Amino acid sequence: MNQLFGEGAGKAAVTECDVLVVGGSLVGLSMATLLGTHGISALVVEKHQGTAIHPRAGHFHLRTIEAFYSAGLEPVVRAESERQFDPDGGINAVESLAGKEIASYIGNLNEGVERFSPTKRLFMTQQSLEPILRDGAQARGAGLNFATELLSFEQDATGVTARVRHVNSGETATIRAKYMIAADGNRSPIREALGIAMHGHGLLSNSITIYFRADCGPWLANRNLGVIYVLNPDLRGFFRLVRDGSSGFLVVNTVGDVSKPEATNVAEGITVERCVEIVRSAIGVPDLPIEIEDIATWEAVADVAERYRAGRVFLMGDAAHVVPPTGGFGGNTGVQDAHNMAWKLAMVLKGKAGPALLDTYDQERRPVGELTIEQAYTRYVRRIAPELGMDDIQPLVDELSMEIGYRYQSPAIIAGEDALNSVWENPATARGRPGSRAPHVPLVRDGKTISTLDLCARNFALLAGPEGGAWCEAARQAAARLGVTLEAAQLDRSGPVADPQGAFAEAFGIGPAGAALLRPDGFVAWRAKDAAGASGEAVTQLLATALCRDAVAAVSEPAAA
């Protein structure tokens, strides 16, 4: 599919759009889908001929699935996942698949998560997820252009002018966008052109991923295995296998004696024959028939960009942060970048927010990116390469806190006395603190069970306790004054949006007359523990602050940002 070139494509000298997304893989397609959910039709260019042809990312975190949930894609994503994999697999380490088990990092991927989220973690191949995102983006108005590469770009005070080329025909076209998203991968030509440096731990290994077919079923039976780390004298890496064990991939980060420099240079001179030996060692059956389908070489790196924004260009996904696969943070963090940014761009483009709201993308997401590369590195050292040394690694942050406990600090968050100088907090203790992801509380509307997160999936929401009617009325007045769509709900045990268990106030750390303002990405912008100060003027100022705009004057799409 291609809207810029080929039969039926327009022949305009310049194609105009609000947002140009460069990169049509997991993160770029997620961004286009989420923008479409907020009413903005993105234009996507991707140099490859179509979506992913390899499994690649496999472990999707709670917050990522919540992003898909907010866009209405979670049911189809989950159905496809369960067709391929056990939904509740664990993460462990073995000497080999048929041999001794060394450690269990996570016994059951979804044990206890229903307390914290309306969704569950899942395993899924990127090659099966990306078509769902492609279709979702297109259904929400995105223009998708595969086999199209970015040649160059320039930006000025009002937008970005990009030159692109169809890789098959050689035809070129010009695109004029108000903003551009660089989702163009870890080597990001856009990042390089902008002169944005990376910092972190750098190159860890020249790794490979071996895609293979083999009958591993006998060693999966009656075992709750999802991600399987392999640590033996021949290799260190990890497996992902399909449900019946007939195929999968093996990531290999080191081979042989790790005291030698060549141990981390796995990719150099790799052959099919050597891959067969490595896979057999990982399975633990020397004569098992192995069919090698493909071999991908790549670099395990732990780096983050020094800034995520340059004028009207924003870095996202691997262009902004490159992490080793330990912990599964790479693609997940990129989708969460998109979830943070999509509603902000939409609000600014629609004239509902001030241009400074876009600055909060870097302010909020880059600290999370820095935390993520350090935590991925900690897991890499602990699970793959202890010889790198334990002295300089960050203490391990638990998976739940990494997935839904990271926190935002920016001018769009009104923390007040609830301010916390930390990038993360355990969700069990955060309890609706401004800057944290809103707690999941089961509610009932129109006879159906929903989550607090459903109420802010598209727009702002002000949720008040059973005695917080004054806040709801004030919020309606504020929304009308600012021209912003907002859902105001007084949560008692039997109202239009009911809290049948009476759990909302406690979950959000407020009293019965308190309230919380939730952003369209599900994060808490502000909360009040009681009804003191509940007025239309007060909430107007709060909502304007969360939108980085003046509380009186209307805003429009800025001439410069």
Backbone angles phi, psi at 73, to 5 degrees: -100, -10
**Under 8 Å between Cβ of 169 and 5:** yes
Distance CA 471, CA 222 (A): 53
Per the residue annotation, which of 229, 308, 377, 408 is the catalytic one?
A: 229
Torsion over CA: 312, 313, 314, 320 (sign) = negative
Q: Which are the contacts of 11, defined by CB distance < 8 A and separation ≥ 6?
A: none
Closest CA to 332 of 189, 114, 122: 122
Distance CA 550, CA 555 (A): 8
Query: How would you classify residue 84: left for phi > 0, otherwise alpha for psi between -120 and 50, otherwise beta?
Result: alpha
Tokens of 266: 């796995």
Torsion over CA: 476, 478, 484, 487 (sign) = negative
Strands 225-231, 90-94: parallel, antiparallel or unpaired by DSSP?
Answer: parallel
Strands 442-445, 448-451: parallel, antiparallel or unpaired by DSSP?
Answer: antiparallel
Q: 3-state DSSP call for residue 324?
A: coil
Distance CA 403, CA 204 (A): 24
Closest CA to 87 of 122, 133, 37: 122
Closest CA to 490 of 509, 543, 474, 458: 474
Classify residue 439 by its DSSP letter.
Answer: P
* Residue 229 appears among annotated catalytic residues: yes
**Under 8 Å between Cβ of 239 and 250:** yes
**Under 8 Å between Cβ of 142 and 43:** yes
Distance CA 511, CA 514 (A): 5
Q: Residue 356: CA atoms inside 13 Å, Cβ hemisphere, count?
A: 11
Distance CA 296, CA 54 (A): 9
Distance CA 23, CA 11 (A): 23
Q: How many residues does the chain have?
A: 561
- Which residues form the catalytic set? 229
